[in-house]
Structure formats: structure tokens, C-alpha cells
Amino acid sequence: MSITIYHNPACGTSRNTLAIIRQSGEEPEVVEYLKTPPSREKLVELIAAMAMTPRQLLREKGTPYAELDLANPKWSDDDILDFMLAHPILINRPIVVTPKGTILARPSEAVLDILPNPDIGPFAKEDGEVVIGADGKRVVR
């Protein structure tokens, strides 16, 4: 099975998502998108696969979002894509692609919905938040 994660190792959500994928028994292709940004074509493909708009994929926290005035509705989808390509940190993460679908894995446990083997056993995030209990069931918050 082929799984790809567009990953930022400095992001806790991205690290937790990668850990969930690995605990499922899969070793994904890890694309550190800040070092190797997707092409415009790939970014458009990912956004379409997630049934999102470029604006919905924009990340605000820890990015130049405010200084670039990206909340301004004057920016078209093409403009937003241009900004993301110029500043990959604006691309929200992690994006995970599996044969079962493509998602923005926020929260990280959302990735379970598209894994071939979502029965990963007990799992807690880095901060200790239990996602799957000892009984193998997802903890609902």
C-alpha cells in the first residue's frame, strides 16, 4: 500500500500523524514539504482530492499570513496558490494520501479514517492525550 505524508517535523500534529501511520504497520513516503514543496500541479491535485479550496488549506499560525494580508477576500484561488508556493509554511499540514483518500489530518487521529489498517491498538499523542484506549476503541472528545 502506498501512503504519502506531507510532513513538517517541527509540527506536533504532523509527528503524531506519522506515528499513527507507522503504528498501523505502514512506512509512508515522507515528504518534508518545507524542504521539497509540491509543484503547483501537485498542490492543486491535493486540494481537489480533499474537496477544499486553496483558502481552506491556508495555515495562519506561525506563518506570514497576517503580514501578507491573506484574510483579504481580494485574493483569488490562483493568488493563494502563488503565496503557498512562495511560502510553503502557509500550506496547512499534515496532508496524507492513501488509496482510501486524501485528507488534512487535523486532528492527527483523522488519518485513521483512510488507513488500510486502522486497528492500531492503544495510542497516545506526544502530549499524553489518549487517542485509542487499551480496549482498542477511539476516545471521543
Q: Which fold, 4-132?
A: Glutaredoxin (3.40.30)
- Cell numbers for 15: 509527528
pLDDT at 39: 97
Q: What are the DSSP calls for the chain, one per residue? A: ---EEEE-TT-HHHHHHHHHHHHTT--PEEEETTTSPPPHHHHHHHHHHTT--HHHHB--TTSSTTTTTTTSTT--HHHHHHHHHH-GGGB-S-EEEETTEEEE-SSGGGGGGG-S-----SEE-TTS-EEE-TTSPBPP-
pLDDT at 136: 84
| Average pLDDT of the segment spanning 94-122 | 96
pLDDT at 1: 62
Span 30-71, pLDDT tens digits? 999 999 999 999 999 999 999 999 999 999 999 999 999 999
Catalytic site positions? 11
Instruction: Count Cβ atoms within 10 A of the Cβ of residue 27 and give its class: 0-12 exposed, 13-18 middle, 19 or more buried.
Output: exposed
% of residues, the chain, pLDDT over 70: 99
pLDDT at 137: 86
First CA to last CA distance, the chain: 30
| Average pLDDT of the segment spanning 92-119 | 96
Structural domain spans, the chain: 4-132
Nearest to 101 by CA among 31, 44, 51, 26: 51
Average pLDDT, rounded, for the chain: 95
Q: Is the pLDDT of residue 110 over 90?
A: yes
- Provide the β-strand partners of residue 86: none
Query: What is the model's pTM?
Result: 0.94
